[in-house]
Amino acid sequence: MQPLKDITVVTLEHAIAAPFATRQLADLGARVIKIERPGVGDFVRGYDERVRGLASHFVWTNRSKESLTLDVKDPEAQKILLRLIAEEADVVVQNLAPGAAARLGLSYEALCKVRPNIIVCDISGYGADGPYRDKKAYDLLIQSEAGFVSVTGTPDTPSKAGPSIADISAGMYAYTNILAALMQRQQTGQGQHIDVSMLESLTEWMGYPLYYAFDGAAPPPRSGASHATIYPYGPFPAGDGKTVMLGLQNEREWKGFCEQVLLQPALAADERFTSNSKRSAARAELSELIVQAFSTLTAAQVVKRLEQASIANA
């Protein structure tokens, strides 16, 4: 089943955010035509050669697409591109430098005059206006500006996420908004302008830490693989040197954990640990108790107890 098999997408894209969005559309059956610059194409092609000579990032975000080489600064190439859009395109996606698409005549305002039902999605780093409009917007920088790095890593070492999550978040918001615009077009026959920025997208993903630090409260600390505000939730060593990941979400699970995993049912009513906020505040004491209980068990034995108590684990 390919629900977008009758949809054509023309995309002027590079790097990750826009290509990731349009690849989702291609996976659903859309015909995606990727416009690439002569000679080098999307610069992501040059990141590495790990996939039978192709770059891993490029293969990941561009499978199932077609490619058309055009020098969009050339007047004749511009005519070809505009004719392609006017005759074929349902959706146009771009993440060029700020203002570049408008200069090429590819703004929503320009394209909707020749194709009223066109959907145009602009993806940028920091938004179409504002003081950071023209700043370089690489994934690491957006992770920092959105505050993501402030809650990731250890107390001593802030860490970025391994994957390009700022790009991915923007790509997913672009993708879902394009799908919504296509649904709306079915009802109204009208196109839509979509404006997505990486900063806004990742800031939305930071909603919980922002609310946690509401009204001047302390932000959640960087806590490695553990959860900053839920405890116990994270890695714990077993007696055989292996590590077990586990997580508790509520008081019912805490009671079962004490009774069936730690074999210390009295702990469930211990005043130090009778709510998540108390357990989180006393995590050093509680961690010592858990590590001691696990010290005589193998990881497999710990997992078996966790499974029997219906405690999430890995």
The set of catalytic residues is: 167
Among 105, 109, 108, residue whose Cα is nearest residue 83: 105
Paired sense of beta strands 243-247 and 233-237, if any: antiparallel
